[in-house]
Amino acid sequence: MLNERNVRLGQVRSAIRELFEYGKKRKAEIGEENVYDFSLGNPSVPAPEEVKRALIDIIENSDPVALHGYTSAQGDYGVRDSIAKGLNARYSLSLDADCLYMTCGAAASVCISLNALINNGDEVITFAPFFPEYRVFAENAGGKLVALPCGEDFKPNVSALKGALNGRTKAVIINSPNNPSGVVYGEGVLREIANTLNEYCAASGGEIYLISDEPYRELTYAGESPSAMSFYARTLMCYSYSKSLSLPGERIGYIAVNPAMENREKVYAAVCGAGRALGYVCAPSLFQKLVARVGDMTADFSVYERNRDMLYEGLKNLGFEVIKPEGAFYLFVKSPEPSAEKFALRAREQEILIVPSDSFGVERYARISYCVSTQTIERSMPAFARLAESYKLR
Amino acid sequence: MLNERNVRLGQVRSAIRELFEYGKKRKAEIGEENVYDFSLGNPSVPAPEEVKRALIDIIENSDPVALHGYTSAQGDYGVRDSIAKGLNARYSLSLDADCLYMTCGAAASVCISLNALINNGDEVITFAPFFPEYRVFAENAGGKLVALPCGEDFKPNVSALKGALNGRTKAVIINSPNNPSGVVYGEGVLREIANTLNEYCAASGGEIYLISDEPYRELTYAGESPSAMSFYARTLMCYSYSKSLSLPGERIGYIAVNPAMENREKVYAAVCGAGRALGYVCAPSLFQKLVARVGDMTADFSVYERNRDMLYEGLKNLGFEVIKPEGAFYLFVKSPEPSAEKFALRAREQEILIVPSDSFGVERYARISYCVSTQTIERSMPAFARLAESYKLR
């Protein structure tokens, strides 16, 4: 018998992947321009020109043995040092190189953090709507994911958090700007979460960690997204340059362990050990050196903002109920009928591909990934109009 | 409580890393040229010039969104197709793209393979001497590593294998050319292992997989190293370009699932699922494209051969008992005293850094990693002579 859980994970595609594969087939049948594919969260803008120039410069002018050699398992010291300094300046933190652990992207960051913390049977809390792979990662680490219902406006439901904390709770994962809702958790809600955890830990003597998954951190439309580490000592910040630099395939990110936590060295050791046990040796060396040079830049996000405005206004005018995205490149639209699945299928009749919200732990919504060309948004509007009409929305 | 196993893994460096860190400190004290550091298996020759040219060409002439974007989780189709064709031509196999799964290097390949196969309590057999991280990877997957004693000339002990197979045996891991012994497993011994497994499985109705860890495959000094997949249907080939192209920091390799196994699709699904559960999203995209272009090349291995010859002859002439390496860049030298630890410490008095064999599951040897400059070998010879003298070897 093979490991049947992993067989299933390999056989059953996620709802998102399933839809993406359908889209590929459909595009081959009726032409790419006739399918409005909003299924995947794959950045559609190019990496900044500086990425190209820096990569070529590094490759042309470095000693290849040093450039392509192993870095230490936690990442090149100079790279970690420069990232720590950048974060300190931005969020008033006190990180140093030894708080940083370079990873192969955000999925690796979250996975390694969970494996560092979890013992068999521990619970990890998250707030709906949430990225479905959290469940896969938590269960593989021997834990159990507890998804709390939405709060108002898709913000975390902090009173539900209060009720859910118990002796088995090891960590809370938050994701802001949020995939799939596009909601940004503001300073107020982050402070509420921190207070709730601090009060519970003080009363119970427990230690609960906050895993803050922030790959969309720079992608906001109304001011900077605050970082949870500023508010809660036991925070592990999980980051990836996939979105900020439009480099999702290159797998480069990090975990930052807050030096404000009293057992910081032990937590950092657990991170290093978990990375080792999962087969991560070091993060890709060339891209470590790249982010030390241009990691504070971002790709041109103006396309995403234009897309958001066009889609939000367009759908609202057609009579759809939509959540205005404050960040990331996702828009949550309410299904006019109780079943989000049926809504997504009816959208598909108009060649619109959107993901029903059920796999994100929320009913009656669909996720529209607008990391597409603005033309695709424009051309999809008549199809959305027909969809609205089929529901007699106005 | 954190995950204490991972805390320990993060706190306790491997014996190799420990020695490497000592070496760094010592070099700072007495000068780099006065320490003969044979601790690490870090390629010392540059990547071929073609790697540099291909990287720059790909970066300059590709659409950045496609170049740096996610590939499918199992890797870019074209890349997998070209690797499958290359392997078929070389080893007379019948692989296709859907047998290949691109990984972040050999550690990831082995880790993912183990997680695909192992259920809690399963046993994984390997032959001493073996790469110590196999134990970490197998245990993290819920399995138990069973290390069999050496056979003659550090070849696998096939009769011990016969005795060790049982209802819990899920896999056998082999590593040829071998780290740490430099021994290459020839066609004869691979056939013997295959026959033994086939006989046991036929009699018991069991399914035992062979994980063939082959990162040193191209690094041989007396003809090509055969590949286990040619001899045993249930083989998972684990590969990395770290050594062949001198790119260890870039984390690029693959798993190939033998299409000759009857449940090939299910095993491949388990590999995909295990990768997903461990947080691997795709192998670094730029380096996938690179290996599709230049993956059949190798760095200039002539330095390693020169080093091997100089070290082998030199140590033999000094009276040391040495195993002649047939591949990789390691040489196994026998300790003149029963304790390999004490031998390594006495070598350290001469500023020679070598790894006692105990952590590889073998007593009374030490590993010399000769992926260093030829000058280092030359300059170390008087120190080795003093070491030999201290043991009155002649």
Tens of pLDDT, residue by residue over B304-357, are 999 999 999 999 999 999 999 999 999 999 999 999 999 999 999 999 999 999
The HSE-up count of residue B351 (CA atoms within 13 Å, CB side) is 20
Q: How far, in Å, CA of B185 to CA of B178, rounded? A: 8
With an 8 Å Cβ cutoff, is B102 touching chain A?
Answer: no
Q: How far, in Å, CA of A255 to CA of A126, rounded? A: 18
DSSP code string of B135-171: HHHHHHTT-EEEEEPP-GGG---HHHHHHH--TTEEE
> Residues near B84 by Cβ (< 8 Å), separated by ≥ 6?
B95, B96, B97, B99, B100, B256
> Do B286 and A10 lie within an 8 Å CB cutoff?
no
**Alpha carbon of residue B260 to chain centroid:** 24
Q: Determine which of A382-386, B193-197, B220-224, B381-385 has the lowest per-residue pLDDT on average.
A: B220-224
Q: How far, in Å, CA of A22 to CA of B244, rounded? A: 39
In this prediction, residues B200-209 reach a mean pLDDT of: 96
> Do A118 and B44 lie within an 8 Å CB cutoff?
no
Considering only CB atoms, B42 lies closest to which of A55, A70, A118, namely A70
Least Cα distance to A218 among A180, A183, A177, A188 occurs for: A177
Q: How far, in Å, CA of B169 to CA of B324, rounded? A: 32
Q: How far, in Å, CA of A191 to CA of A272, rounded? A: 29
Q: How close A187 comes to chain B (CA, Å)?
A: 28
Q: How close A324 comes to chain B (CA, Å)?
A: 27
With an 8 Å Cβ cutoff, is B110 touching chain A?
Answer: yes
Q: Is pLDDT of B192 > 90?
A: yes
Tens of pLDDT, residue by residue over B239-272, are 999 999 999 999 999 999 999 999 999 999 999 9
With an 8 Å Cβ cutoff, is A253 touching chain B?
Answer: no
Q: Show residues of chain B in contact with A268, CB under 8 Å.
A: 10
Give the DSSP letter of residue A31.
Answer: -
**A88 C-beta neighbours (distance < 10 Å), count:** 14
In this prediction, residues B17-45 reach a mean pLDDT of: 92
Identify the residue whose tokens are 């920091």: B249
Identify the residue whose tokens are 């970066």: B59
Helices marked H in chain A — which ranges?
A: 4-11, 15-30, 49-61, 64-68, 77-91, 106-117, 133-140, 158-164, 187-204, 264-277, 285-294, 302-317, 340-349, 374-390
Give the DSSP letter of residue A224.
Answer: P
With an 8 Å Cβ cutoff, is B129 touching chain A?
Answer: no
Say what the pLDDT of residue B282 is.
Answer: 95
* Cβ-defined contacts of A288-291 (< 8 Å, 24+): A288/A71, A288/A75, A288/A76, A288/A79, A288/A102, A288/A252, A289/A58, A289/A62, A289/A67, A289/A76, A289/A79, A290/A51, A290/A54, A290/A55, A290/A58, A290/A252, A291/A79, A291/A83, A291/A241, A291/A245, A291/A252
In angstroms and rounded to an integer, the radius of gyration of the C-alpha atoms of chain B is 21
Q: How far, in Å, CA of A288 to CA of A282, rounded? A: 10
Partner residues linked to A27 by β-bridges: none
A contact test, residue of B68, B79, B112, B136 with most A CBs within 10 A? B68
- Tallying the residues shown for chain A, one arrives at 394
Considering only CB atoms, A276 lies closest to which of B3, B136, B283, namely B136
In this prediction, residues B108-129 reach a mean pLDDT of: 98
3-state secondary structure at position A81: helix
Domains plus CATH for chain B?
4-48+300-390 (3.90.1150.10), 49-294 (3.40.640.10)
Identify the residue whose tokens are 């598909």: A348
Mean pLDDT of chain B: 96
Q: Are strands B355-356 and B365-369 parallel, antiparallel or unpaired?
A: antiparallel
CA dihedral B183, B184, B190, B196 (to 10 degrees): 10
B contact test, residue of A109, A257, A278 with most B CBs within 10 A? A278
**A349 C-beta neighbours (distance < 10 Å), count:** 11
**Alpha carbon of residue A6 to chain centroid:** 23
Give me the percent of chain B exceeding a pLDDT of 70.
Answer: 100
With an 8 Å Cβ cutoff, is B267 touching chain A?
Answer: yes
Reported as a pLDDT band with limits 50, 70 and 90, residue B21 is confident
For chain A of 394 residues, list the mean pLDDT of each consecutive stretch of 10. Answer: 94 83 92 94 94 98 95 95 97 97 98 98 97 96 96 92 97 97 96 98 96 97 92 98 97 98 96 97 97 96 96 98 96 97 97 96 96 96 98 92
Q: How far, in Å, CA of A344 to CA of A349, rounded? A: 9
Query: Rounded to the nearest 5 degrees, what angle is found at the Cα of A32, between the Cα atoms of A331 and A38?
Result: 10
Q: Which one-letter amino acid corresponds to residue B223?
A: G
With an 8 Å Cβ cutoff, is B42 touching chain A?
Answer: yes
Say what the pLDDT of residue A229 is.
Answer: 97
In this prediction, residues B187-195 reach a mean pLDDT of: 97
Say what the pLDDT of residue B16 is.
Answer: 84
And the tokens for A117?
């913390």
DSSP code string of A105-171: SHHHHHHHHHHHH--TT-EEEEESS--THHHHHHHHTT-EEEEEPP-GGG---HHHHHHH--TTEEE
Are A357 and A365 spatial neighbours (Cβ–Cβ below 8 Å)?
A: yes
- Phi, psi at residue B3, to the nearest 5°? -75, 100
